[in-house]
Chains A and B, each alone.
Chain A
Amino acid sequence: MQSLCLASPPAASSSVERVTSRGGQRSTNPEWSKWSHARILFCLSLLYTLHSPATYSSAGPACVLFGLPSPSLSLLFLQFVLAHRVHEHLSSTSLPARHASHMPSLLSRFAGRFPAHTGPYSVGTVDIELPISSLPQPFATPCPDAEVTTILFRLFYPCVEPDTSAKTPAATWIPSPQDGHIREFGKFLGLSESLANLFV
C-alpha cells in the first residue's frame, strides 16, 4: 500500500490545488470554508473507499487526494480538520476542557476529549490484574466460570500531580491490545456505513 502511494504524489498535489480552487465559494469565515472543503473531500473519499474495498486496499484514495505518503497520515489530516467541529461543540457545552494526560497528541486536542473533572483533586489511574489463585475466596462456590483465572480492574484515585518529565505514556481509553478491542466493538455496534463517519 505504501509503495503505491509514494508513486502518486506529483499528480496528487495538482489535484489538491484544482479541488481547492474549484471549492470556490469565498466565505468571510475562514473556519467555515476549511470545514466545508474538508468535509466534502472526506465524504467523497469515504464513499469511494467504502464502496470499493479492493481499491481502498490498493490505492488509498485519501492519500491520492492529499499527496501524503501513507493512508494513515491522510486520514489523520482529514480528521484533524474534520474534528475541529467536534472540539467546538465540546468547548461550548462543558467547562473549559483540560486534558489530563501527560502528552496530549495532536489529535487528542481536537476530538474525543474529556472535559474537566468537577472535584478539586487531580486524578490518577492504574490497571491492576491479579491471579485469583493469589486471593482468598471465602465463598460457597468457586467462580461459576472456570475460565476466569484473573481479576482485572482499573483504579481511579486522588493523585500527586506528576512532574512533566514522566516517561510512562498516558493510558488510552481503548485498552491494549487496541486493534482487538476496536474490531470487537465494531462488530458489536453494527455501525452503518453512512453513520460511520460520525465516529471519525
Chain B
Amino acid sequence: MDTSNLLAVQITDARRFSHFPHLLSHIKLAAHSNAKPLPPDPAQGSQWPAVIFSHGLAGNRTTYSHICSSMASHGLVVAAPEHRDGSCPVTYLSPTTTTPAGPCKKLYTKISHTPSNAVYRARDEQLRVRTWELGLLIEALAKIDDGSASGNLRSPKETPTDAVSWFRGLIDIRTPGKVTFAGHSFGAATTLQLVKTVYWSARSHPQLPISPVTPTSITDNKREQTTLFQPSAGAAISAIITATTPTILLDMWTLPLRSPFTSDLAALPMPHFAPDNSNGGAPILAVMSSAFAAWKDNFEGLKSVLADPYEHIPYSAPLKHPALAALLLQNDAASATDSGYESETASAQSVPAPSVEPPIVRPRAKAHIFYPLRSAHLSQSDYGVLFPTLTRYVAKGADPNRTIRLNVRATMEILRRSGIPVQGVKGKGNEDPTILSSQKDTPRGWVCVDVEDKIQAPDTAKTGGDSVVDKVVDQVAPKELQDVAEYGGKT
C-alpha cells in the first residue's frame, strides 16, 4: 500500500480528472452566500463569539465548510483562513496596489512523511507561515470588528466590496480566553503550536524566553531552536490566548510536533497546564478518527502533549520538562537514533526540593479525548460528507454526517463549559450532558479515551451498522494504518 496516500488510489493523468468537472463544480457551499449577518440576541451580548479554524494538508478555506457552518449555526462566527504555506493543492493571491503583477498562485509543496531532519525543517517552515498568518488573521478580524477595515480583493462579482463593513461590532475577537482555536490534522498541530508559542512568549519566566533567533544557516544542530512565531506585546493575539482558551484538535497529526528544532517548545506544557492555572485541561478537546486512534505512534504523541505534566511532580518543578519533549521524540525511531537528545534529557532530569505549592486542587481536570467508531481521517472534512461512498469503501469511514454531528456537539459543550454562549442542537434544548461523559457508548459509538490509558487495540467493537464495513475494518492491519500519515498525494 502506498504509505503516503490515505485514499490509496492512483491516477496517471490529472487532465482526465478535470474532464469530469461537472459533478464537483456545481457543488454549492451549504450556507447563504453574501447574506447579511444577524446581530445576536441582546440578552446574550452584542457580539458573536469567534472560532478560528485551520485546515490540514490538501485543504483550503472551503474544505471544512460543513463543520464550520455547523458550528456557526449554533451562534458563532467561524473564520477559516487559506494558508499559503504549500498545504493547499493550490491557492491564488489577488493583485494588490503594491504587487500589481496579477494573480499568482502557490502550489502544493510535497514533503515526505518519513521523519528526517530535512522533513522536520520543512514542516517547521510551514508552521512558521501558518502561525504568522493566524496572528495576522486576528489583527484583520479586530480591524473588521472595530470598523476600520475596508475593501476586499475578491472579485466584486463574487463578493460585494463593502462586505467587511457588515461585521462591525459583531465579532468578539478581543475577550481574553473566549476566542476558540480549532484545526484538523496539520491544522490541529498548527493550533497547538500557536497556542503554546503565543502564550509562553508573552510571559516572562526564569526559564524563558523562547529563543528569538532563527538559525540563518540550516544545520543539523538540534540546539539551534527555531522560533515558530513571536507576537509583540501589543498584538491582538497575545491578549486573547490564555490558560483557559478553548482548543479544539480534530484528528491531530503529531509528526510536526516532534521536530527536534522545536523541542524547547515541546518541553513546555500546554498553557492550560501552566503551574498557576487551576482550571487544567477542561477547555481542551481532541476528537480523533478511529483510523488515527489505531495509529499507535501518533496517538501516543497526542496523549503525551495533552497530559498534565504536573500530575506527579510539584508545581514548583522546572517549567521545561525535557521528559515531555523526549516522549514526543522517542516514538520516532529515525530521530531518536540520530539525535543524541536522549542523553541530554537523561542528565537534565533534576527536580528541585518542593517549596510552597500554589493552592491548586489535585488532580486538575484532564483534556477530553474522544473518537467515533468507524470514522476515517476524512470524516471531519467536507470530503467525508460529500463523498460518502468513497469514504466508506476506500477510507473505511461510516456515516460521516454523524461523525460531524458528534464533533460539533462536543465542541459546543466545551464552549458552553468555558462560559461561551452557544445555542443547542435544534429541538434539543441548550444542554448536552452526555457528549463529554466518560460513560461507555454514550452516545452510541462514541469512545472516550483517558489520557493516561495505554494504547487501545484497533476498534473491533461491533455496535451494529453495515456488516460489509465491519468486515473491511477488521481486515485492515494496524501496521497499514500506522503508515498513513495524512490524506496526501504521492511524495
Which of A119-149 touch B at CB < 8 Å? Answer: 119-141, 143-145, 147-149
Do A151 and B81 touch (CB < 8 A)? yes
Do B11 and A86 touch (CB < 8 A)? no
**A66 vs chain B, min Cβ distance (A):** 15
Nearest opposing residue in chain A for B142, CB measure: A136
| 8 Å CB contact of B152 from A130, A190, A200 | A130
Count, A-B residue pairs, CB within 8 A: 421
Which of A146-183 touch B at CB < 8 Å? Answer: 147-162, 166, 168-183
Is A99 interfacial (CB-CB < 8 Å)?
yes
Is A89 interfacial (CB-CB < 8 Å)?
yes
Do A190 and B159 touch (CB < 8 A)? no
- Cα distance A174–B299 when bound, in Å? 32
Most-contacted residue by chain B among A49, A112, A186 (CB, 10 A): A186
Nearest opposing residue in chain B for A143, CB measure: B132
B29 proximity list for chain A (CB < 8 A) = 100-101, 114, 125, 170-173
- Cα distance A122–B128 when bound, in Å? 35
Do B25 and A144 touch (CB < 8 A)? no
Nearest opposing residue in chain A for B152, CB measure: A128
B19 proximity list for chain A (CB < 8 A) = 49, 56
Is A107 interfacial (CB-CB < 8 Å)?
yes
A72 proximity list for chain B (CB < 8 A) = 22
Do A117 and B73 touch (CB < 8 A)? yes
Which of B1-35 touch A at CB < 8 Å? Answer: 5, 7, 9-35
Is B235 interfacial (CB-CB < 8 Å)?
yes
- Residues 55-96 of B, flagged 1 when their CB comes within 8 A of A and 0 if not, give 000101110011011111111111111101100011111101
Nearest opposing residue in chain B for A185, CB measure: B89
**B72 vs chain A, min Cβ distance (A):** 4
| 8 Å CB contact of A148 from B10, B77, B93 | B93
Q: How many residues of A contact B (CB 8 A)?
A: 104
- Cα distance A133–B139 when bound, in Å? 12
Interface segment, A2-10, A15-23, A25-33, A75-83? A75-83
- Residues 232-275 of B, flagged 1 when their CB comes within 8 A of A and 0 if not, give 11110000000000000000000000000000000000000000
Q: What are 5 A-B residue pairs whose CB atoms fall within 8 Å in the complex?
A: A104-B28, A121-B75, A128-B164, A155-B80, A156-B69
Which positions in B face A, CB cutoff 8 Å?
Answer: 5, 7, 9-38, 40, 48, 58, 60-62, 65-66, 68-82, 84-85, 89-94, 96-99, 104-108, 125, 128-129, 132-133, 135-137, 139-140, 143-144, 149, 151-155, 158-160, 163-164, 166-167, 170, 212, 214, 227, 229-235, 382, 385-390, 393-394, 399, 401-402, 405, 408-409, 412, 422-426, 488-490
